[in-house]
Structure formats: structure tokens, C-alpha cells
Chain A
Amino acid sequence: MPVFRWGQNWDPFRDLEREVDRLLQGMNLSLQRSARRFPLINLIDSGDRFVLTAEIPGVELSDLELTAANGVLMIKGVRNPPQEAREDSFRRQERFQGAWQRSLQLPDRIDEDGMKAEYSLGILTVVLPKVAGIAARSIPITEGPA
């Protein structure tokens, strides 16, 4: 059962992508990082908390915005091209540019007040502590009309 649900609720290609990634991982090749999505996000469940990491190299802290509201975590920002670079002076342009935004639905057992975020070496790390002590609740079942 998925604990986490991302932006789009249903994406038939995601499983396929994951499978292909797994296959590629098995072959120790030099891989080109995907530039389709920015930034790329990983999420790890480390027991009492979730840890989200996102590769967002080269942004200023002032251009980075992280909000949590109604169970949705949103990261957004802008990655500006160097000011001195003219549009026609590029010989190669592979890095992501411009405004970006990613959002994700938080599992409901997150302590939103205890969230912490840090940006270092181009990686944003967000710690999402789980709310402790939510035991499984037994729901009584009554017999309905026959």
C-alpha cells in the first residue's frame, strides 16, 4: 500500500520507469542525468521520520521556498542563468533553467511543526518527523439490516 502519493495520483509509466532504472542500475554504465524533471527528489523512511532530499544545485537560499499546508509539501524556486551570458553566446546548454515547482502529499502521520530543512552542496534535505503513538484503532462493526 503506498504511504506516499505524489502530485498526480495515477501514472502508469512510473512503474515502468522504475523498472528500467533498476535495469540500468545493474549495468555499471555512465548515465546521463534526466533533465525532464527538476529537481529530482528521493524519499527515505528512516523509522521515526521521513527524510526527503532534492538535488537543486546552484540556487540561492533567497530563491528557495518551502511550504507545508493542508498536508501538502511544496518546494519551489528559480534557477537563473548567469547574467553575463547572452542567449546567443551558448555553445552548450544542458542545465535546467527557470522557475520550477514540485509538490507532494504528506502522509497524514507527519509532525508538520517539527519539520526541518537544510540546503548544502546543492542538496535540499527536509526532515519530516512522524507523529508518534498513533496506534491502530479498532472500528466496531455492527450488523446492518438483512
Chain B
Amino acid sequence: MSDQRDIVRANSDGDGTGDIAETENSTPRLLFNPPIDIYETNDGLVLYADLPGVNAEGLDLQIQDNRLALFGRVKTPSNTTGVVHEEYKIGDFLRSFILSDDVDHERITARLNNGVLRVELPRASRTEPRRIEVSTD
């Protein structure tokens, strides 16, 4: 058994998180780096990410080897013709973070509301010193 700790689910596709948009169907998808906030609280860290157009089913949040990766898939609108004015493109969101060792992976929680993801990264409680019994052969 591997000692892999996944918060939500492991990526069963097997290709992990790429740096370039996945090409499930041949049309390339745009990939954006969502803006984030990170602040400290008494219990640890809180992370916010703007992911407009992403619902809970389209969000994949995973952690492996201290790397927290978020991927949000946005539904592509059927009608993309007749653009009169365009300030933003439609694409998916990808960003990853390196967590420090004192984040308790087991207690990470996440919530998605109105296109904003909030992830709580609680600090691990200081581990008690543990005595290791030494035996002789």
C-alpha cells in the first residue's frame, strides 16, 4: 500500500495534473491561473481561490507529497458566436501549492460557494515526543 494521502480523490486518469490543458476532445482548452488569497489564522492557513463557473463536480482537489493541486473545469458555453465585446476568455483553472510540513493533511477541508473555493489548512498539533523501545537480538 502506498502512503498517499488524497483529500478528495486520487486522479484515476493516471496522467496526474499536467501543465497544459488536457485534450479530451481535440479542441484545446484554455487554462488559467486563478487569483488566490492566503492568510493565517490561529488554527493554520486559509486559502481562497476565484473559480467562476466551476461547480463542485467540476472541481478536483488533490494532495500528494506536500503538493496541493486544484483543477476546476468550466462548462464551455454552446453558443460562442456573435461576440460583441469580450473581456475574458472561458477556460479551466489550474494551480498548485507546496504545503509546509506543519499542515495537517488529514484535516484539510474545502468548500465551494458562488465560484469561490475556500480551503482550510489546519496546522498539525505538535506531536508529543515518543519513546522508541530499543531491543537487542
Contacts and interface: CB of A to CB of B under 8 A. Distances in A.
B82 A28 contact: no
Given A42-B83, A43-B85, A121-B115, A57 B52 contact: yes
A57 B39 CA distance: 19
Nearest to A45: B82
B116 to A, nearest CB: 4
Contacts of B82: 44-47
A63 to B, nearest CB: 11
A92 B95 CA distance: 14
Interface residues of B, number: 42
Contacts of B89: 21, 25, 31
Interface in B31-46: 31-41, 45-46
A33 B84 contact: no
A126 to B, nearest CB: 13
Among B20, B50, B91, which residue has the most Cβ atoms of chain A within 10 A? Answer: B50
B54 interface: yes
Contacts of B35: 32-33, 35, 94-96
A41 B48 CA distance: 22
Interface of A: 3-4, 6, 18, 21, 25, 28-33, 35, 37, 40-47, 50, 55-60, 81-82, 84-86, 89-96, 119, 121-123
